[in-house]
Amino acid sequence: MSGRRLATSIEWRSLLPLAAGTLLLLGGVFCLWQTWQIADESSAIDRVHAAQKQAVDALAAEIATQRGGVEKVLNAVDPAQIAADPVQSAATVRQQLPHAQAVEFYSGTLDEVLHANYRTFGYGKAAQLMAAQTADGKPPAQTVPDGHGGRVLSLVLPVGPVTRPSAWAWVAMPFAPVQQRFESIDPASGRLELRQGDDRGDMRLLAKGSLSAMSEMTGVPVPGTTLNVVAAQPVAYIVLPKVWPLTALFGLLCLGGGLYLFWLRGHPRSKRVGEVEDVSLPDLIDSTPAPARPAPAPRLATPAPPPAPAPVAVDPTIFRAYDVRGVVGKSLTKEVARLLGQAIGSVMREKGLPEIVVGRDGRLSGPELAGALADGLREAGIDVIDLGAVPTPVVYYAAYRFNTGCGVAVTGSHNPPDYNGFKIVVGGETLAESAIQDLYQRIASNQLEQGGKGNLRHVDVVPDYIERITSDVQAERRLKVVVDCGNGIPGAVAPQVLEGIGCEVIPLYCDVDGTFPNHHPDPSDPHNLEDLIFAVKQTGADLGVAFDGDGDRLGVVTKDGEIIFPDRTLMLFARDVLSRQPGATIIYDVKCTGHLKGQILDAGGSPLMWRTGHSLIKAKMRETGAELAGEMSGHFFFKERWYGFDDGIYAGARLMEILSSDPEERTPEEIFATCPKGVSTPELKVDMAEGAHYRFIEKFRQVASFGDATLTTIDGVRADWPDGWGLVRPSNTTPILVLRFDADNAAALARIQALFREQLLAVDPSLKLPF
């Protein structure tokens, strides 16, 4: 037996050079292949970019050709004939454009478009026509649905003088030639995508090439259109350092070593000292009188366990003061969302909370992130109710409706399309500050529940949400209101709510489009309200309301074009609530006007100024039992007749109820005129480095001097005088200082701004102040 074992050992040792040589040869081939991959990477990217430029040029030429043909026909049409009979004129033009799928004429003022029912007219077509009035030169071409699952190339062209057209032509041309041009381009080893919009979050129309290619962040615009072509770079599977001379040297050394070992095996050397002879079993038996007791085999060390897979890198900066938010594909990925779900689920398990609702806004990244979040929650053993695409307030409502006390809204709110995030409620508490940081610490230290098997069910709660509001809130007289949803998710709900309470609704940008093609859904920025003001004036509506991207904020404009700042809207809400709840606490944030305190006192309420932040305001409401709260950003929180969470859609319904039930039947302008206003600035912002804004405020608190002003330092520094006030505070979402000033008159405002300027520059003379 011992001879057999020794022979076997000798046989295996003789095979070692063969095995080592094979491994070295394979390693050499792999290194040389990696060398080729590294050397070819940059040229492959250049080839894809060349294809991208070729596609842009081809599409631009095709669309310009189609536009030119339409312009040639329109130039021969008499504008007076169009004005007299637009339908017949359109039919005549279409006969001369045999490929056109539709031709329509509209007046130069587009009044008929503004009054149209956009559900039947088409949101995309309406937006394109209205945008044409402000376009410089030729309105850009775009694509819109054809109503049969396909798309058409839509052109808007002026009839008559470009600066003041007597009519507008809307022409739908076939999309097939554009598609054929795009598909004729070879994307090399990468991929090309035709998108509509401004950046990577846009709607993808066409794609050609490798599915594994990695898309770039931005595309190249197709001139004269809203289209862009995105290049997706080919994926090179490179695992070695990207230094081709080094990988080539490794490859050659491995090949040389492997060939040398194979040569040795074919050319045996003479026996050296210590080498074992090739001995047969009979020889061993003859030369050994008695088999020696074999030496015990050396004890092998216990092999170390394989290293754990590298953890997902989580950027701590996405864990903000009020929520978790980051850039999709960079700081925010589906892996991060899954870990966040596990962390939330771990907190819930500790609190004995078994179920949670999850909803998402209209962003293109929402389904993937919400799905990954739900997977993480279920991994932690939590049952998930998936609400689908709904406004954030609907998520909050569902947490009450299904008695979970827990909910997550996957939303980027008013941020650009490439952002997304999570607003989190656990046990009835909206997580903020230390509770948000606790989630990060759980992920970083891997203190996460796992191995659970939570259930998943899908529920449509929107009809219940609408019924709950419309059964309680009613407009006593019919108001005509323009509703601008900025292509955010409120467009799927807000018009139905306001129609349900008795308003005549004119929808503006209410089709949900995660690329936000018209303007950012942020009603706190006056520039984003320009289209709404124009639509209110053109339609003769009583009022205009705007919502942010996830529906928890409200903006208001009058038919005169005045923007009603949220602190003045809060005055109306406070009067209404206090008429039924005398003595109630009304909370407002540090950015609100100084007139608000007096208005609440006059209405018999108890005013309370508090820190900015929806999570912080809700926590203060629970602490004080307040019936109403509001922020300058447009968040309104009704506890009276509602649930105490911030809900822009519900606030819009309550506003319509108040305005329509005025006993004197005054217009909205006349009612808002009773809410005092001074001379004020919007929010002014000063960019700073990450963390520097907090350090600045700490120093400013210590050294700033404002004489006889009343100082409030719960959130930055606010100085109040009898005739006005000023504020500087650190943003809790971005590294900026936020300033606002409000006074009874321009002279007081200038005085307060000058004093703040002096104090701010005394702390940091390098500040670039926007006032």
Helix (H) / strand (E) containing 393: helix 392-401
CA distances from 377 to 310, 337, 346, 383, 407 (A): 21, 10, 8, 7, 11
By C-alpha distance, which of 177, 181, 170, 131 is closest to 151?
177
CB neighbours (10 Å) of residue 86? 17
Contact (CB, 8 A) for 146 and 133: no
Q: Which of 295, 289, 373 is nearest to 339 (CA)?
A: 373
Residue 763: φ, ψ to 5°: -80, -40
325 is a catalytic site residue: yes
- Asked if 516 and 412 count as a contact pair (C-beta separation under 8 A), the reply is no
8 A C-beta contact, residue 581 and residue 642:
no
Catalytic residue chosen out of the listed positions 215, 365, 413, 524 = 413
* 8 A C-beta contact, residue 624 and residue 608: yes
Active site residue 49: no
CA–CA separation, 112 vs 391, rounded Å?
A: 30
Selecting among 67, 181, 191, 325, the annotated active-site residue is 325
Which CA distances in Å does 220 have to 58, 198, 200, 229, 380? Answer: 13, 9, 11, 5, 43
Asked if residue 550 lies in contact with residue 391, where contact means CB atoms within 8 angstroms, the answer is yes
Amino acid occupying residue 461 = V
Amino acid, single-letter form, for residue 376:
G
Give the tokens for residue 503.
Answer: 């308003």
Q: Which of 94, 181, 553, 635 is catalytic?
A: 635
Query: DSSP secondary-structure letter at 612?
Result: S
Please spell the DSSP secondary structure of 275-310, one letter per residue. Answer: PPP---HHHHHHH-SSPPPPPPPPPPPPPPPPPPPP
Q: At what angle do helices 2-74 and 86-96 cross, to 10 degrees?
A: 120
Return the SS3 of 542: coil
User: What whole-number distance in Å separates Cα of residue 589 and Cα of residue 732?
Assistant: 14
Cβ–Cβ under 8 Å, residues 545 and 499: no
3-class SS at 666?
A: coil
Three-state DSSP at 227 gives strand
Q: What are phi and psi of 411, to 5 degrees?
A: -155, 145
158 to 98, 116, 274, 534: CA distances (angstroms): 20, 20, 97, 20
Q: Within 10 Å of residue 523's Cβ, how many Cβ atoms?
A: 26
Residue 116 backbone dihedrals phi, psi, to 5 degrees: -75, 155
CA distances from 669 to 111, 555, 587 (A): 23, 15, 25
Residue from 56, 84, 320 nearest 182 by CA: 56
List the catalytic residues: 325, 413, 635
